Amino acid sequence: MSRSPLLVGNAQAFWGDDPDAPARLVRQQPNLDFLTLDYLAEVSMSILAIQREKNPQFGYARDFIDVVKSLVPAWKSGAHFKIVTNAGGLNPKACGAACVDLLKKADVDLRVAVVSGDDVLPILKKENRDLFSNLETGEPIAKMRERLTTANAYLGAEPIATALADGADIVITGRVADPSLTVGACLAHFDWKIDNGAGGRRATWTGGPQGRASGSERVKYDSIAGATIAGHLIECGTQACGGFSTDWLELPDNGNIGFPIVEISEDGSCVVTKPKGTGGGINLRTVKEQLLYEVGDPGNYLSPDATVSFLDLDVKEIGQDRVSVRGAKGRAPSSQYKVSATYHDGFKAHAMITIFGRNAVAKARKAGENILRQLERDGINFERSLVECLGSGASVPGVKIDNGAGGSRATSTGGPEGRESGSERVNHPEELMETVLRVSVADSNRGNVEQFTKKIAALVTAGPQGVTGYSAGRPKIQAVFGYWPCLIDKELVEPKIDMLSSVEAAVSAAYSQHAGDTPATTN
């Protein structure tokens, strides 16, 4: 007997997204089964590491607790949606404890499960074999080992599904692959079997019995691939509804873009849609743009749950703001997890100041170069530095700034014709009457960067005519973290599940139902 489609909506695309969106989406679509909330970008772990250094109870996306508070009225009104989120960051147990504390104070009886085990920093730091080379450069990790600050494996959907099957209403994870938030919900709902890759350890369960039934004897890789694509389509929130689209200006009500929903069927196919009355649009262009977002080889999309091919996808508009996606092909995942690691890479600072009037760009560039030359005379040569004149094309892809002839002319390397040297268009840098000078430096020596921060204010009187907009004070010095992507064998990683809040009767019922299942501690 086939099961009903699963409705999954995503209302957070990154840490810092609209905090009111989850409660709004639940009001707009009250029949949601699952709400996914994606907080973690590659850089997020570095920020969380800094916060955890200041307070051991931090290290997770604390905004999530405010989101849970905003959802309390919906639960008290009878809503039955569940949450799957990676808000746990580097400290999922602390995040879970804070969530439980809030729910208890709000008198809301929900079961909270925490998935951990993604932190592989101890393994990368102590493992002396020639492993964990940089996926992008091939460099060995040896020279970075002592500078590593975080290292997290992208776990898959299995521990999420296990927690849900054992009655969790909210599942909080650390680092997992973004689509796996959705795949985990599908595994639990459709009772799909999964093989997380040769040698991969099963999740260790410490809050009760393992609740996942064995399901089908055959892993339905095509279905899991379809669910992976569904999760990929909604993981970036409003992007699937036209945010970040090439046609953004033409979108209806683009100040009120809705968050996406996928209706996932048991075969893994899905319909992408959004709540009625919201802005933006779900159409072939917006869906295809998101399909290809952050995808390398569309015939070999690697996730911890399946290796997915997009090549045979059938994408069709089937109604107003409704796009059908089917035809995903899947096969077994690899025996390795991807790891996102970060390391200390010195310090940085940048300063911005506005300069207006004739020859604004030439004046600004010269002023920025003067600051660097002054510091060079003092014996400070930064490892990295950059002078930009914003508004002159300095940050536009495909435009090269010619530093000759006053350093103000922009030449095209593939951009619009108006940027070629012979063009008479008025947007030539030398004709601009205003620009924002941005000077950036980075160095392993914090003292060098600090000296730079003391030089900017002098431009107010020692710089060119037209300096304005200096009101933020000295630039702030920030720690720099480098990114180190690598792979780790799944057999070295042990996902863990902890139930932090539960109803005694529900745990007993789960144990009775699944008493004959394979114990979660079995590898």
Which residue matches tokens 């560039």?
A: 365
If you ran DSSP here, which 8-state letter would residue 14 be given? S
Position 431 scores a pLDDT of 78
Do residues 333 and 303 make contact, with C-beta atoms less than 8 angstroms apart? yes
Burial of 482-516, coded b for 16+ CB within 10 Å and e otherwise, reads bebebbbbbebbebbbbbbbbeeebbeebeeebee
Do residues 470 and 460 make contact, with C-beta atoms less than 8 angstroms apart? yes
Position 209 scores a pLDDT of 42
Which residue matches tokens 């144990």?
A: 511
Position 397 scores a pLDDT of 73
Q: What angle do CA 38, 303, 226 make, to 5 degrees?
A: 85
Higher pLDDT among residues 276 and 519, named by residue: 276
Distance CA 439, CA 452 (A): 10
- 3-state class (DSSP) for residue 118: coil
Count other C-beta atoms under 10 Å from residue 273's C-beta. 23
* Residue 452 binned pLDDT confidence (cut-offs 50, 70, 90): very high
Count other C-beta atoms under 10 Å from residue 62's C-beta. 17
Average pLDDT, the chain: 87
Least confident of 84-93, 203-212, 437-446: 203-212
3-class DSSP string for 293-341: CCCCCCCCEECCCCEEECCCCEEEEEECCEEEEECCEEECCCCEEEEEE
> Residue range 42-62: average pLDDT?
90
pTM over 0.75: yes
> Residue range 401-418: average pLDDT?
42
> Residue range 236-254: average pLDDT?
93
> Residue range 289-295: average pLDDT?
93
Distance CA 70, CA 156 (A): 28
**At residue 85, what are phi and psi to the nearest 5 degrees?**
-145, 150
> Residue range 345-349: average pLDDT?
97
Position 428 scores a pLDDT of 61
> Residue range 306-334: average pLDDT?
97
Position 194 scores a pLDDT of 87
What ranges in 146-246 are assigned the alpha helix state H? 158-165, 180-190, 221-234
Q: Which of 89, 502, 33 is nearest to 263 (CA)?
A: 33
As a whole-number percent, the residues of the chain with pLDDT over 90 amount to: 76
Least confident of 101-115, 179-193, 459-473: 459-473
Does the pLDDT value for residue 419 go beyond 80? no
CA dist list (Å): 196 to 221, 298, 308, 425, 468: 11, 21, 14, 58, 58
Does the pLDDT value for residue 197 go beyond 90? no
Position 404 scores a pLDDT of 43
Position 402 scores a pLDDT of 52
Q: Which two tokens stand for residue 212?
A: 């996942």
> Residue range 333-354: average pLDDT?
96
Largest CA distance in the chain: 81
Sequence-distant (≥ 6) Cβ neighbours of residue 180 within 8 angstroms: 154, 155, 156, 157, 160, 228, 231, 303, 304, 305
Least confident of 14-18, 131-135, 422-426: 422-426
Does the pLDDT value for residue 103 go beyond 70? yes
- Per-residue pLDDT of 209-223, as tens digits, reads 444 444 445 789 999
Q: Where in 334-454 does DSSP place strands (E)?
A: 336-356, 384-390, 399-402, 409-412, 434-443
* Residue 411 binned pLDDT confidence (cut-offs 50, 70, 90): very low
> Residue range 459-476: average pLDDT?
90
> Residue range 362-384: average pLDDT?
97
Distance CA 315, CA 288 (A): 8
Position 401 scores a pLDDT of 53
* Residue 515 binned pLDDT confidence (cut-offs 50, 70, 90): very low
Position 126 scores a pLDDT of 87
Position 237 scores a pLDDT of 96
If you average pLDDT over each of 91-105, 214-228, 393-407, which comes out highest? 91-105
Position 468 scores a pLDDT of 92
Least confident of 106-115, 182-191, 401-410, 514-523: 514-523
> Residue range 335-351: average pLDDT?
96
**At residue 464, what are phi and psi to the nearest 5 degrees?**
-75, 165
